[in-house]
Structure 1
Amino acid sequence: MSDEKDTIEVDDDFVIEEPEEVPAVPVETAKTNLSKRRTIDNLLEERRLQRQLADYDFDF
């Protein structure tokens, strides 16, 4: 047996890189997204109905 320590050669082709840090962004839940979508849909429906009422002639 040899008394010399074995050396490990480092290959530069296999450098492990640390992933870039991603800023912490709070994840919105599906329930919140659905709630926002329903609110938008309701506002669009209200606008559509307001336009229909404005176009309707109320004179008799």
Structure 2
Amino acid sequence: MSTDKEQLDVDDDFIAVEADDSEQPPVEQAKTNLSKRRTIDNLLEERRLQKQLADYDFDL
């Protein structure tokens, strides 16, 4: 590392990328992942309920 203080050139013509353009793909992926997760949760819940029903003693 240099101990000398150097003058850094700053580019004043920087163009910021809008956040809306960069957020579109992750939002779509998040919706897809959420949809998949809900489907899996529903299947697991259905399987759990079927197991409880099969284990239920109907001869009370």
Instruction: Answer with 1 or 2: which has the greater Rg.
Output: 1
Could you tell me which amino acid in structure 1 is paired with residue 31 of structure 2? K
Runs of 4+ in structure 1 deviating by more than 4 angstroms, as ranges, are: none
Q: C-alpha distance in 1, partners of 2:52/2:29?
A: 35
Number of the residue aligned with 1:9: none
Q: C-alpha distance in 1, partners of 2:55/2:29?
A: 40
Q: C-alpha distance in 2, partners of 1:52/1:29?
A: 34
Q: C-alpha distance in 2, partners of 1:49/1:29?
A: 30
Which sections of structure 2, spanning at least 5 residues, go unmatched? Answer: 1-25
Q: TM-score, normalised by structure 1?
A: 0.50
- For residues 7-55 of structure 1, the C-alpha deviation after alignment (integer angstroms, 9 at most, x for no partner) is xxxxxxxxxxxxxxxxxxxx86110110000000010011001000000
Could you tell me which amino acid in structure 2 is paired with residue 34 of structure 1? L
Between the aligned residues of both structures, percent identity stands at 88
Q: TM-score, normalised by structure 2?
A: 0.50
Aligned pairs (5 A) from 1:1-60: 29-60=29-60
Which sections of structure 1, spanning at least 5 residues, go unmatched? Answer: 1-26
1:59, distance to aligned residue in structure 2 (A): 1.8
